Amino acid sequence: MIRHDAMRTPFVTTHRPFRLPISFLALMLGMILTLQAAGSQSATPQVRIIDIDGTITPAMASYVNRTMRSAQRDQVAAIVLRINTPGGLSTAMDDIVDDILQSDVPVIAWVGPTNARAASAGVYITYATHIAAMAPGTNIGSASPIQLNGEDQTGETTAERKAMNDAVARIENLAELRHRNVDWAISAVRDADNITADKALELGVINLLAPDIPTLLHDVDGTQVQLANGNTVTLHTDGAETSTASMNLFEDFLQLISDPTIAYLLLSFGGLGIFLELSNPGQFVPGIIGIVCFILGFYALGTLPVNWTGALLIGLGFGLFFLDIFVSSFGLLLMAGLVSFIVGSYMLVDDTVPGYGTVSRPVIWTAAALILVSALLIGTLMLRTLRSKPKTGKSALVGQVAIVRKTLAPTGMVFVDGELWAATAEGLDAGTSIPTGAFVEVLGVRGLQLTVRSTERQPNDNLLAASRTVIPVS
């Protein structure tokens, strides 16, 4: 028995320490730092600032609505309305007030900076907010309702009393809702009362004075307000990070054309463009530009306190300009239209309505001068056209020199303007005729028959060259 001793190799295990890849460690470290940064950022309260700067218009109301909805989606700690307005349309004001009352985010009004004001519609907006503040050197008041024709609604007619009582009830409701001075609010509407920031704080019209927004956010920190959904929240705004929401391009454009002077220019350019198109049909460009300007101008008029008598006078002026082109009035219609246009321009917008000024006087006279020059230029061109000799058609043949192709005795054939025409010679003595090849002048056209007479004038070279290719008429 043969025995084989197997060689045994011992099994050796090597234990290495477990190590994470460096790239994995770097990734984890980056995630930790990102989470810490996000946590610290979320811990910083966010406040959205909305500027109500200028006249309260539908464009302004649209801007406030859009930015407030965006702020609520972003769950900001508060919204600050930075107010500096002379007033504006009550319908636009109502939209802004409704947005404030329905907001699920605390809304703070700050009338500032120094020398700012919250007049007319600005009073209602300030009263509607959860917290109202003003900067030193500002003022608030003059909230009496004004009709679009500029008349103060303090008269004794039933319609005026209804409008006044409605305005008083609205401001009274807002004052009671926000626990502010009711008596002064009524006085601001009925008597157009206006007070400074210090007086407003003393009377309880506002909650506090603040020279700037950081101070405002520090002072209101910890204040409790009740929202539209019934929840009571505590403001945490001290050291908050602020961001300002601006108007977009479309809102900026609509706010721009709501200015009385811009609206007037749009109407003037619109009327001028349509006037040029009607006086010279087929150009299209003046007409298209005129219609676009007219549409934008009428939109702007809807946001302004317009005196429609002034608007009608402007329209009458353009009508007289157009009529003057076709009627020989020796300039009377043109001057009457110019007077109507200028008077209507002065009456178009009433500057007694808070937030609105009149149309710039230099702009009115510049527009009138441009329209006058355009009307004179068009009239001159049309008069020159009417007096000029026709260049085509039968009328254009009168005065041209023709070549006799068949003896005129007194009738025959002539060659003119590239064609053979039957012709009758005038002024011939009995038994005389005008031979072939002679030159005659066309006196008139009767149907297909020309009336001619002998002339010493020479035809142009083109007619002579063309006549050589025409088959002679026997």
Give DSSP secondary structure letters for 417-443: TTEEEEEEESSPPTT--B-TT-EEEEE
Q: Note the pLDDT of residue 321.
A: 81
Q: Note the pLDDT of residue 389.
A: 61
Give DSSP secondary structure letters for 215-254: HHHHHHTT-EEE-TTS-EEE---TTPEEEEE---HHHHHH
Which residue, 406, 401, 400, is CA-closest to 423? 406
Burial 368-406 (b: 16+ CB within 10 A, else e): beebbeebeebbeeeeeeeeeeeeeeeeebeebbbbbbb
The pLDDT tens digits for 216-247 are 999 999 999 999 888 899 999 998 999 999 99
The Cα–Cα gap between 450 and 413 comes to 9
The Cα–Cα gap between 208 and 130 comes to 12
What is the pLDDT averaged over residues 68-90?
Answer: 93
Does residue 107 carry a pLDDT above 60? yes
Q: Note the pLDDT of residue 127.
A: 96
Number of continuous H segments (helices) and E segments (strands) in the chain: 15, 16
What is the pLDDT averaged over residues 302-331?
Answer: 82
The Cα–Cα gap between 391 and 369 comes to 35
The Cα–Cα gap between 50 and 435 comes to 95
Which residue, 233, 334, 328, is CA-closest to 275? 334
Query: Which range has the worst mean pLDDT, 12-21, 81-90, 294-303?
Result: 12-21
7 φψ region: left (φ > 0), alpha (ψ -120 to 50), beta (else): beta
What is the pLDDT averaged over residues 151-161?
Answer: 59
Give residues with Cβ within 8 angstroms of 6, minimum separation 6.
none
Does residue 373 carry a pLDDT above 60? yes
What is the pLDDT averaged over residues 272-289?
Answer: 80
Among 22-36, 118-132, 443-457, which range has the highest average pLDDT? 118-132
| Helices marked H in 302-431 | 308-326, 332-347, 361-387
The Cα–Cα gap between 175 and 322 comes to 56
What the chain holds in terms of domains, given with CATH numbers, is 44-247 (3.90.226.10), 259-387 (no CATH), 394-467 (2.40.50.140)
Report field, pTM of the whole predicted structure over 0.85: no
The Cα–Cα gap between 420 and 402 comes to 10
- The more confidently predicted of residues 389 and 121 is 121
The pLDDT tens digits for 430-474 are 778 889 889 999 998 888 889 999 888 888 766 666 666 665 555
Among 100-114, 317-331, 362-376, 429-443, which range has the highest average pLDDT? 100-114
Unique residue bearing structure tokens 């900067």:
135
- The more confidently predicted of residues 429 and 316 is 316
